[in-house]
Structure 1
Amino acid sequence: MKNNSNLKDIRKVFITGIFTILPIAVTISLVFWLFNKIDSIFRGPLERLLGFPLYGVGIIITFLLIFLTGMITTDLLGKKIFQAFENVMYKIPLVGMIYSSVKQVVDAFAAKKGDGFKNTVLVEYPSKGIYTLGFITTNTPKFINENTGAEGVFVFIPTTPNPTSGMLITVPKDEIIYLDVSIENALKIIVSGGIVSPKEN
């Protein structure tokens, strides 16, 4: 009996450790992914220019870029400069399309209630009988409705653990299951891989 009790205690401690470290690990992995991307862009050219190896340059440059961008975009003149930069980005073929799409997704996650995603829903995706959490963005345009034979909506399906990437699908309105779950709480479920299941008030 004592051995069984010890095994249960060890199991409980181990599971508690997993639940504690998982959100930290996911957050750190996403941050390091960003650092590595910045590092891969700037480290090589800087090392060739300076003639010696640089370590941690991705972390330093990432923090500097975030800080400087925040300073610029909170200043009135900076906002105008950034808007001018965005206008140039929008006019570049392909680049403008990618930038516009990514910005809209990020804005949707950062938006106040009612300004970004509209509703948390369940849809049968990727096949019948499998239900996936998603967010309604807007109604589908007329040319899609005419080809599908039904009025539909665009539903964004986020991925785990990075919800800013995902799939955009069209779903007929009569096949949507609306959930009484806030977008914020639904995101917690998605990011945690279902481990966190917030209770609605």
Structure 2
Amino acid sequence: MKKVNLKNNPKLKDIRKVFITGTFTFLPIAVTISLVFWLFNKVDYIFRGPLERLLGFPLYGVGIIITLLLIFLTGIFATDVLGKKIFKGFENVMYKIPLVGMIYSSVKQVVDAFAAKKGDGFKNTVLVQYPSRGIYTLGFVTTNSPSFINEHTGEEGVFVFIPTTPNPTSGMLITVPKDEIIYLDISIENALKIIVSGGIVAPKENLGSCKIE
């Protein structure tokens, strides 16, 4: 009986290649769809749950529709002169509530930083040695560290936000001495692409030293 060499069989190699290609093509699609459906169900249930308990039958999709309408109406209202004053008053109330004010202020500042177009959010993309010496991590300069911190460290520092992968809106805030920061000539948008993709998407930019005052 003739022995078949499976390793050198061209047909089996083609099947293996097709299967691997299919796996790596299908996997990101499947993960994306799963995350979208998970988020959809979470947001949808916020409003769907109470309505279903009230009416006694399922209402899939109504929650996400209501959420989108609320976002749209909030946007319209917030761009109006009267709406801006009302939201400002609402924010002032939120800031005065213990714990709630701290959470709201922190979340708002992070969201504003990611949404900022020019100079109001992150200032620079940088490399810092974090969490230990010899390990370099991408981060974003937010502002100079206050004097009460500099007095304890004995040197001038800056606040650097270290985002996490794949969700860059969460992360760590650290203080780094100015002379230990490596400023990179790469946009914050492209740096975020690197972080979100886990380094898979690496824009071809000149990573030279560049500090934007």
TM-score after normalising by structure 1: 0.83
Aligned to 1:107: 112
More helix, by proportion: 1
Unaligned segments of structure 2, at least 5 residues: 1-7, 207-213
Is 1:197 the counterpart of 2:205 in the alignment? no
Which residue identity does 1:76 align to in structure 2? V
Percentage of pairs with the same residue: 77
Is 1:116 the counterpart of 2:121 in the alignment? yes
**Is the Cα–Cα contact under 8 Å of residues 44 and 60 in structure 2 kept in the other structure?**
no
Aligned to 2:151: 146
Instruction: Tell me the distance in 2 between the aligned counterparts of 1:3 and 1:114.
Output: 58
Per-residue CA distance 1:105-141 (angstroms, 9 max, x = gap): 1111111122210110011111122111000001111
Instruction: Tell me the distance in 2 between the aligned counterparts of 1:27 and 1:122.
Output: 33
Change (3 A) 1:4 1:130: farther
Aligned to 2:184: 179
User: Which residue, 111, 128, 135 being the options, matches 1:130?
Assistant: 135
**Is the Cα–Cα contact under 8 Å of residues 38 and 61 in structure 1 kept in the other structure?**
no
Q: How many residues align?
A: 198
User: Which residue, 47, 53, 70 being the options, matches 1:48?
Assistant: 53
Structure 2 SS opposite 1:66:
helix
Aligned to 1:22: 28
Aligned to 1:6: 14
Instruction: Tell me the distance in 2 between the aligned counterparts of 1:103 and 1:129.
Output: 33
Shift of 1:87: 1.6
**Is the Cα–Cα contact under 8 Å of residues 35 and 62 in structure 1 kept in the other structure?**
no
**Is the Cα–Cα contact under 8 Å of residues 141 and 159 in structure 2 kept in the other structure?**
yes
Change (3 A) 1:92 1:23: farther
Unaligned segments of structure 1, at least 5 residues: none
Deviates more, 1:64-73 or 1:177-186: 64-73
Structure 1 SS opposite 2:57:
coil
C-alpha RMSD of matched pairs (Å): 2.7
Per-residue CA distance 1:35-77 (angstroms, 9 max, x = gap): 4443454444333333334433442232122222222112222
